[in-house]
């Protein structure tokens, strides 16, 4: 899913962050671990705010490794594992990439969950069960949300409102890519959610429903900047956008407000995975425990702008802090459908967009 690509550009808590030297443990030890994450501000935020706290708590030094946020990383891992020279002990994977890695085999190692008791703080959905058992522990998440201009329209109660031309004719901004979320929103609103995406007939029915929406769309956006500018200048009055960025824009005084309609917003997430062949299983377990702690989840929400994977009541986040990055209910993307039937979905989607 492309929603992961934006995390490297996240502005929350990242402005002015420079590459930093990781903190040394309080007591000199030889324990260390290499952790991969997406570069730029995202990685810098981990190096500045998260890894030093882990080192302070455990004495385990962290070497931060920049990794791609795409399936390209799987190619790198395949070559490295085959050569016996793995680049990281832990990698950060989106769920779809994690599914691919599990299907390929011998890229990510099964986890000993008895050593990762902190994962019990997470919903079981965020502990990924691969072909070889548990292979991923949720790290953080983010939302693609319904947004609207509060100066122009009332708060929509449902995604179904977007199909009402009396409210939104030629005024919506929606993601153009087939896997940008609109299929998932539509499936959750008018069908049986991800289950409907598992058959060709279901996919066709969802895309036909999206086609009914076309007269209300002013912008099919592929870059964040397009939607941002269109909301600022009033070309669109509602649509889908990233929750945290929308809140940042609102704080800057622009006419945009995110909301959680009754069907929910799309929640994507990343997971920590242990690289096959790593001899740092114990250190990885300690880091995954640390990451799963409510205090760490709250730290990441405050400093990186990601949504926590633990219940808000377990954290010390204020309502405002929590609502800035998260909410309910959540719609889970149809990951397996996008992987198993990508060509049919993409071709059907592109044909729908091309039709006048």
Q: Tell me if 52 is assigned to some domain.
A: yes
Distance CA 168, CA 161 (A): 8
Q: Which residue has the higher pLDDT, 43 or 2?
A: 43
Tell me how far CA of residue 117 lies from CA of 91, 120, 129, 169, 262, in angstroms.
Answer: 20, 6, 16, 51, 33
Give residue for tokens 């397009």: 226
Summary mean pLDDT of the chain: 91
Q: Which residues contact 232 (CB under 8 A, 6 or more apart)?
A: 249, 254, 255
216 and 338, same domain (yes or no): yes
Q: Which tens digits make up the pLDDT trace of 173-189?
A: 999 999 999 999 999 99
Q: Is the pLDDT of residue 57 over 70?
A: yes
Give residue for tokens 């990383």: 73
175 and 205, same domain (yes or no): yes
Q: Which tens digits make up the pLDDT trace of 116-161?
A: 999 999 999 999 999 889 999 999 999 999 999 999 999 999 999 9
Is residue 121 a contact partner of residue 294, using CB atoms and an 8 Å limit? yes
223 and 189, same domain (yes or no): yes
Give the pLDDT mean for 85-109.
94
Q: Tell me if 324 is assigned to some domain.
A: no
- Please give the DSSP secondary-structure letter assigned to residue 197: G
Q: Tell me if 325 is assigned to some domain.
A: no
Q: Tell me if 302 is assigned to some domain.
A: yes
241 and 178, same domain (yes or no): yes
Tell me how far CA of residue 65 lies from CA of 37, 39, 82, 90, 302, in angstroms.
Answer: 7, 8, 19, 9, 23
Q: Which residue has the higher pLDDT, 12 or 282?
A: 282
205 and 276, same domain (yes or no): no
Q: Which residues contact 325 (CB under 8 A, 6 or more apart)?
A: 12, 142, 143, 243, 244, 247, 301, 305, 306, 307, 308
**Measuring CA to CA, which residue among 140, 75, 62, 63 is closest to residue 107?**
75
> In 67-188, at which residue ranges do the beta strands (DSSP E only) sit?
90-94, 127-130, 133-148, 172-175
Q: Is the pLDDT of residue 19 over 50?
A: no
- The boundaries of the domain holding residue 117 are 2-142+267-318
- Of 42-46, 111-115, 142-146, the range with the lowest mean pLDDT is 42-46
pLDDT for the residue 42:
85
312 and 338, same domain (yes or no): no
211 and 259, same domain (yes or no): yes
19 and 129, same domain (yes or no): yes
95 token code pair: 């769920």
Q: Is the pLDDT of residue 317 over 70?
A: yes
pLDDT for the residue 71:
80
* Number of domains forming the structure of the chain: 2
Q: Which tens digits make up the pLDDT trace of 201-253?
A: 999 999 999 999 999 999 999 998 999 999 999 999 999 999 989 998 999 99
Beta partners for residue 32, in sequence order:
61
Distance CA 326, CA 266 (A): 11
Q: What percent of the chain has pLDDT over 90?
A: 84
pLDDT for the residue 22:
40
Q: Is the pLDDT of residue 113 over 60?
A: yes
33 and 107, same domain (yes or no): yes
25 and 51, same domain (yes or no): yes
Task: Annotate 103-140 with b (16+ C-beta within 10 A) or e (fewer).
Answer: eeeebbbbbeeeebebbebbeeebbbebeeeebbbbbb
Give the pLDDT mean for 264-275.
97
């Amino acid at each position: 899913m492309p929603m992961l690509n934006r995390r490297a550009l996240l502005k929350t808590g990242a402005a002015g962050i420079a590459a930093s030297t990781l903190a040394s443990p309080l007591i000199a030890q030889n324990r260390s671990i290499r952790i991969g994450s997406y570069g730029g501000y995202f990685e810098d935020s981990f190096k500045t705010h998260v890894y030093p706290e882990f080192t302070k708590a455990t004495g385990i030094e962290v070497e931060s490794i920049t990794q791609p946020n795409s399936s390209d990383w799987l190619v790198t891992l395949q070559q490295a594992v085959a050569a016996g020279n793995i680049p990281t002990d832990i990698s950060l994977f989106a769920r779809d990439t994690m599914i691919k890695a599990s299907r390929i085999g011998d890229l990510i190692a099964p986890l000993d969950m008895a050593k990762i008791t902190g994962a019990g703080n997470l919903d079981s959905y965020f502990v990924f069960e691969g072909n070889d058992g548990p292979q991923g522990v949720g790290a953080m998440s983010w939302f693609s949300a319904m947004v609207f201009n509060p100066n122009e329209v009332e708060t929509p109660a449902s995604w179904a409102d977007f199909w009402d031309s009396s409210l939104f004719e030629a005024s919506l901004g929606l993601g153009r890519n087939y896997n940008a979320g609109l299929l998932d929103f539509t499936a959750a609103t008018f069908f049986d959610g991800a289950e409907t995406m598992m058959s060709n007939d279901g996919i066709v029915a969802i895309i036909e429903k999206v086609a009914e929406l076309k007269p209300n769309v002013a912008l099919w956006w592929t870059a964040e900047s397009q939607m941002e500018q269109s909301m600022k200048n009033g070309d669109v009055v509602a649509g889908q956008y990233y929750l945290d960025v929308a809140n940042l824009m609102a704080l800057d005084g622009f006419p945009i407000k995110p909301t959680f309609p009754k069907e929910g917003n799309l929640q994507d997430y990343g997971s920590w995975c242990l690289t096959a062949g790593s001899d740092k299983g114990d250190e990885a377990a300690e880091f995954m425990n640390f990451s799963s702690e409510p205090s760490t989840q709250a730290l990441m929400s405050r400093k990186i702008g990601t949504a926590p994977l633990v219940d808000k009541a377990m954290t010390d986040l204020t309502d405002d802090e929590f609502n800035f990055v998260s909410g309910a209910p959540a719609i889970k993307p149809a990951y397996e459908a996008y992987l198993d039937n990508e060509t049919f979905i993409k071709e059907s989607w592109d044909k729908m967009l091309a039709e006048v």
